[in-house]
Chain A
Amino acid sequence: MYWLILLMVIVSSGNATIRYIFSNSSNAWLEVQWYLFSAVFLLCSGYTLLKNEHIRIDVVAGRLSRRAQIWIDILGTLFFLFPMALLILTLSWPMFMKSFTMMEMSSDAGGLIRWPVKLMIPLGFSLLMLQGVSELIKKVAILTGDRPDTGDHGHHHHTAADGEAA
């Protein structure tokens, strides 16, 4: 998935260069940029949750006991994450279907067809939901002792020193 980042960089620099040198370009290539970015940030949201990279304010929570933190994660997944993901997931499906059935296009000259990017919303939030379920199971398993605890909010990746630690 993250390869799309490289693709975005290439497309965007390519747009600028080609427009400048050949005085040619199209809205399709401009729209590809945000199509790709939408795919990246929506489809990676579940993965980001897995890696515990969704930012938290741990100034108070950091002082709670480990058990309390796990409970917060369980309740947060149930009452914060699930409602949001479910709500947007269910509401975005009809939006996609409408766009799909009418074969909605960009309203700008030479722009792209819309349904693929609109599909990213229900898809992204589904993946987020699934990851939420997985987190829930893991946290419950820690509480019941079926799974070793990996530390303060689970994983810690990509601090500046990781490259060396590996």
Chain B
Amino acid sequence: APAIAQSMPEIKWRLASSFPKSLDTIYGGGEVLAKRVAEATDGKFQIRVFAGGEIVPGLQVLDAVQNGTVECGHTVSYYYVGKDAAFGFDASMPFGANTRQQNSWLYHGGGMALLREFFAKYNILNFPCGNTGTQMGGWFRKEIKTVEDLKGLKFRIGGYAGKVMSKLGVVPQQIAGGDIYPALEKGTIDAAEWVGPYDDEKLGFNKVAPYYYYPGWWEGGPNVSVLVNKAEWEKLPKHYKAVFEAAAAEANMDMTAKYDVLNPPALKRLIGAGTQLRPFSKDIMLACYKAAQETYAEEAAVNPAFKKIFDHWSAYLAEQRSWFSVAEAGFDSFVLYGIPKK
């Protein structure tokens, strides 16, 4: 019937991913979204996923969505903190939310309304579409025991975390992608961070840097977003919008689930191959925490958009933490540490 044909128009979108296909879990988030959308619309709404660099370079996905070069993009918003530090809140900020808190803030805690207002300046709608879970702190050639050890440490770490760390004397070095492995091998740089065991194992950093530090306090629960061009979104029929939103939510959960399944055996393989697991010491964590708070205060003083979201976000996290310290922490603490080891 014509009525149905009208409500089920054929729509073809391009999705520019920030990620290479080799990062199957995180790149896969875009594919899960596309597959579900197609299935739920009987193939009428098709989204083609392009890996980083295929249409635009991975770090320019936001620009491509903003311009309407592509209808949507799959990316991590902290890639764009150079445009505005407030982008970080859509993804992850140092000592910020874990995965569950990030999701609750975005879906029901008021975070999304604030971010949508912020993203509106870029003609973009953001939807959560993946989360890696807490990441690892990276690969180090030598042990980092004290805060003093951070001084002069040449660390390949990007974005806002690099800013925090430079307050402690770390030298953030954003060297060429292909140079990372040989530079780490020869000690031109001392450390490099990536994602977590499953993705890191593929890069083989364990062969050149024995110490694997945790936690990646700058990425407690980084949210991966699908960004949609506003004008294109408005053209969608109502139920396509609903389908898209539901598919993104599914991709969001799906990615975390995949990482949680894949990371433990990968970490075991790394340990079996000689990797030494090390936690950052409490002193280091405290020093980094303090440095992070300083950068927040500095940024909030000059950036009203940042301050507005930061105030809401930090108040929300304070509430969350007092709640998580009760049942969640009690339960985790017992099952993780309280059960006598055999």
Q: A and B bound?
A: yes
A residues with CB within 8 A of B: 16, 19-20, 23-27, 30-31, 94-95, 98, 102, 104-111, 114
Q: What does the 1/0 interface line of B266-305 toward A look like (CB < 8 Å)?
A: 0000000000000000000000000000000000000000
Asked whether any CB of chain A lies closer than 8 Å to the CB of B320, the reply is no
Question: What CA separation (Å) do A110 and B158 show in the bound complex?
Answer: 10
Q: Are B171 and A107 in contact, CB atoms less than 8 angstroms apart?
A: no
Which B153-178 residues have a C-beta within 8 angstroms of A? 154, 158-160, 162-163, 165-166, 171-175
Question: What CA separation (Å) do A79 and B160 show in the bound complex?
Answer: 46
10 of the cross-chain contacts (CB-CB < 8 Å) are A16-B188, A19-B171, A23-B152, A25-B173, A27-B172, A107-B83, A108-B159, A109-B165, A110-B162, A110-B172
Q: Which residue from chain A places its CB closest to the CB of B175 in the assembled complex?
A: A30
Question: What CA separation (Å) do A22 and B174 show in the bound complex?
Answer: 18
Query: Chain B residues near A104 (CB, 8 Å)?
Result: 82-83
B residues with CB within 8 A of A: 59, 63, 67, 78-84, 151-152, 154, 158-160, 162-163, 165-166, 171-175, 188
Query: Chain A residues near B174 (CB, 8 Å)?
Result: 27, 30-31, 108, 111
When the two chains form the complex, which single residue of A19, A108, A114 contacts B162, counting CB atoms closer than 8 Å? A108
Q: Which residue from chain B places its CB closest to the CB of A108 in the assembled complex?
A: B174
Q: Chain A at the B interface: mostly helix, strand, loop or mixed?
A: loop
Question: What CA separation (Å) do A94 and B64 show in the bound complex?
Answer: 12
Known: A20-B188, A110-B162. 18 other contacts (CB 8 A): A23-B152, A23-B154, A23-B171, A25-B154, A27-B162, A31-B174, A94-B67, A106-B82, A107-B82, A107-B83, A107-B159, A108-B82, A108-B162, A108-B172, A109-B159, A109-B165, A110-B163, A111-B174
Query: Chain A residues near B165 (CB, 8 Å)?
Result: 109
